[in-house]
Structure 1
Amino acid sequence: MKSKPNLAEYLKKHWLLVGIFNCIFLASLFPSLGVKEGPLRPEYTVKYGAVSIIFFISGLSLKTDSIYYTLRQHRLHLFIQGFTFVFIPIFIQLLIVALNILGVDAWIIKGLITVACMPPPVSSAVILTKAAQGNETAAIFNSIVGSFLGIIVTPLLLLFNLGFTTVVPLLGTVVQLSVTVLFPLLLGQSLRKFTEFRGHNLPLNGVSQCALLFVIYTTFCDTFHNPDTGLYATDILVTMILVLLIQMFLLLLSFSFAKSLKYFTPADVVCAMFCSTHKSLTLGIPILRIMFHGLSHLSQISLPLLVYHPTQMILGGLLVSNLKDWVNSRRIKKPPV
């Protein structure tokens, strides 16, 4: 009979989740440290530091044959991008019918529509997939593809769902993605291919997850630094409950649907679940500021995305350990492509 794990073993197994809650607690105590233009300068250290480190380590750890295999996983890519850009917007539009009946603020509803049109982020989904021993290579590929698609698809979705759109800074977005994602990824892959350096005894996975924790800390610093949003407490509470329920439903649905498809391995299912349900704050906030600049309702519109971003990381942290155990218990050969 196995003995129950003690507290130290539990904390070691769930250290990422513990780290997430510690980051939230520290951000509530010292929000001014991690805000934009604060002492930690997240506009540089996060955008060009933490994110670049995450993708450099990913490039260094990815095997070339896994990259070739991933490029041929057309059904997985189609599932993720279709769920992100097609299913979620349709689902939110159907949900809005019920929300209108319940009398939810119309501007918060517009914020939910905007969230539904956003592309996936380039860091959190990758790290959570890797932490849960999912298909990291596919997560990287779909995060990058989804971000580039978002430059074109997101404005079109907003035009269709809201009746107007915005101009996404195309050149600036492409340059930023290239500098912070593609270049570090290619640099890590080049080091792996042309040298014998593999990180050796360095805890690369731990470093990646620490970089994600830094992103989470600075995200919550922004949240706690600006508590006066001009919203009623009921608006904030309703938004938090809605976003939480929406994310839980989407995570469960994507997991169940992907698991039911016989050509997806458990690692693919984990990748599909995180990459298809996460939404980008990095691209979303600039779009919102451009679209609704000068409107008194900007706070209501921005609130769903501001809540969605940290919630997806908290829920992901809660699920990582169980998903990792599930993947390890369901190890099977890769299905034919």
Structure 2
Amino acid sequence: MGIPPGTDGQPDPKERSKAFRAVKKVFGFILRNWLVVGFGVACVLGYFFPYVAARGGIIRSEYSILYGGIALIFFINGMQLSPEKLKEHVTNWRLHIVVQGISLILIPVIQLIIVHIIIAAGGVSSGTVSASILTGMIVLGAIPTTVASNVVMTRNAGGDEAAAIIEVVIGNVVGSFLSPWLIYAFLPTTEEFDALRPAQADTLGPMYADVMKQLGLSVLIPLVVGQSLRWAFPKQVTWTLKTFYLAQFCSFMLILVAWSTFSGAFETGALTTLPKSSVIFNVFLNIAEYFFFTAICFYIASPPESLARLINRNVADSRLGSYLPNIVRRALTVRRMPKELVVAVCFCGAAKTTSVGIPLVAGMWSNVNDNFTISSIQVPVLLYTVEQVFVAQFFTIFFKWWLHRTEKGASDAESSITTREQGQISPSDKEDGHIGSPELINEGMLQEKRIT
């Protein structure tokens, strides 16, 4: 008589197999989403040990990560990208106008409107939202795109990372000079903000110097060195990139950047000292804003065809538009960007940077002796940059699917056109009685037109 499994004290092989499969699934999920898991670990480490990776902390992250880590990201990107691709985007004026227009004009105006709605609704007078949080929101809207995460996310999603790099450089150069004046112009004049007035503009010299130094040392020089190596040793560079998985190394460096940002957010103590209602409000508002700003970027870069036709008919192709110079008409013509560029626009247009935001607040509010006030103004910048990294990781999944669906549709359309050209008829066409129907032919032509 046999002994039933498990009665001799040994585990049932079936149960053991189920447990193994469950562990394998969990491990596989972690491997597939290691970047999100890494951000989670960075958040936990930043919360419990903020003094390690905060500015001035044990590892001096303002140098080791914000200079060294970001420099490695752009050095590797320089080795990966073709010089022709970078040159192509340097003169892509439509791309520059769209990204910088959204980042430095449209978003600051939207942020100003939101702040005044909160003030009008009694958010500040009732104490629900701190005036320093609203000041930080004005700062957040005015600062340029982030330096590292948008480039890494664009590449991970399959977008045009060369375009992202060009927009990072342009945005941070232009934004460093434009952002302070936007803040001076947009800061509310009500009495609640009297104690939060920034210093005069002549105090911003050190901030400009710091931002230009970081941009040069951590972005431009590493990019040029990487490009030079690619030009001088193309085979060796390609071998190195593939052998040592340097593209994935960029993502790991992004986790270190997130760790530094989390540590800075927790180290100030402002997150725990500010009213909980202010912090919770800002957390959820940031997420909603990032989704909203990304949607704006997406529809401006890739507007619906019906909307594009309507605008072009009434602007560029109108009777008045016919009198305009060709260069102006081309600039006013609304058309869709290539899908890889759309991805770059979405990650660059909606993102904001602590590399300008934190020193900008320190420089503009140097007249304030209260460190807590300065930290409170920095909270919206810190929270938004942390949250954008988390949310952007899920956007990479969406954009991967979107690009893959487009490629699959293009491939299917090509094979369908080839089949019809060869006179082959599929069984489904025979059954449906649609062989050679005008509807199918028109659909194929329309798909082909969209591809080209």
The normalised TM-score by structure 2 is: 0.69
Asked whether the 8 Å contact 1:14–1:321 carries over to 2, the reply is no
For residues 130-188 of structure 1, the C-alpha deviation after alignment (integer angstroms, 9 at most, x for no partner) is 11111100100000111110122112212221286632433343222111110100000
1:278 aligns with 2:351: yes
Q: Displacement, 1:262?
A: 4.0
Tell me the residue number matched to 1:225. Answer: 267
* Identity percentage of aligned residues: 26
- Displacement of 1:128 in angstroms is 1.0
Alignment of 1:36-185 (within 5 A): 36-104=55-123, 105-162=130-187, 166=201, 167-169=204-206, 170-185=208-223
Q: CA deviation at 1:15?
A: 2.1
What displacement does 1:199 show?
4.4
Give the alignment's Cα RMSD to 1 decimal.
Answer: 2.3
Counterparts of 2:131 and 2:264 in 1: how far apart (Å)? 25
The one-letter code sitting in structure 2 at the alignment partner of 1:22 is V
- SS of residue matched to 2:401: helix
Q: What SS does structure 2 have at the residue aligned with 1:57?
A: helix
Q: CA deviation at 1:33?
A: 2.0
By how many angstroms is 1:298 displaced? 2.7
| Structure 1 residues 321 and 11, CA gap change in structure 2 (3 angstroms) | farther
Q: Does 1:255 align with 2:298?
A: yes
Correspondence for 2:287: 244
Q: Give 1:204 shift.
A: 1.2
Which of these residues, 223, 228, 231, is aligned with residue 190 of structure 1? 228
Are residues 1:213 and 2:255 paired? yes
- Using the alignment, how far apart are the partners of 2:155 and 2:91 within structure 1? 20
Alignment match of 2:53 (pick from 19, 29, 34) = 34
- What is the aligned residue count? 331
In structure 2, the residue matched to 1:311 is 387
Cα distance between partner residues in 2 of 1:233 and 1:101: 21
Q: Distance in 1 between matches of 2:369 and 2:110?
A: 27
In structure 2, stretches of 5+ residues that fail to align are: 1-23, 124-129, 190-197, 304-333, 411-447
- In structure 1, the residue matched to 2:35 is 16
CA distance in 2, matches of 1:160, 1:70: 32
SS at match of 1:330: helix
The 2-side partners of 1:213 and 1:50 are apart by 10
The one-character-per-residue Cα deviations of 1:284-327 (angstroms, maximum 9, x if unpaired) are 11111222232553343222112111011111112212212222
Q: Which moved more, 1:149-158 or 1:68-77?
A: 68-77
Task: Tell me the residue number matched to 1:330.
Answer: 406
Paired letter, 1:215: V
Question: Per the alignment, do residues 235 and 184 of structure 1 end up closer, same or farther by CA in structure 2, a change over 3 Å counting?
Answer: same
Question: C-alpha displacement at 1:126, in angstroms?
Answer: 0.9
In structure 1, stretches of 5+ residues that fail to align are none
Alpha-carbon offset, residue 6 of structure 1: 4.1
- TM-score (ref. length: structure 1): 0.91
Q: Deviations over 1:44-69 (max 9, x none)?
A: 11122100000000000001221232
When structure 1 is superposed on structure 2, of 283-292 and 268-277 the one drifting more is 283-292
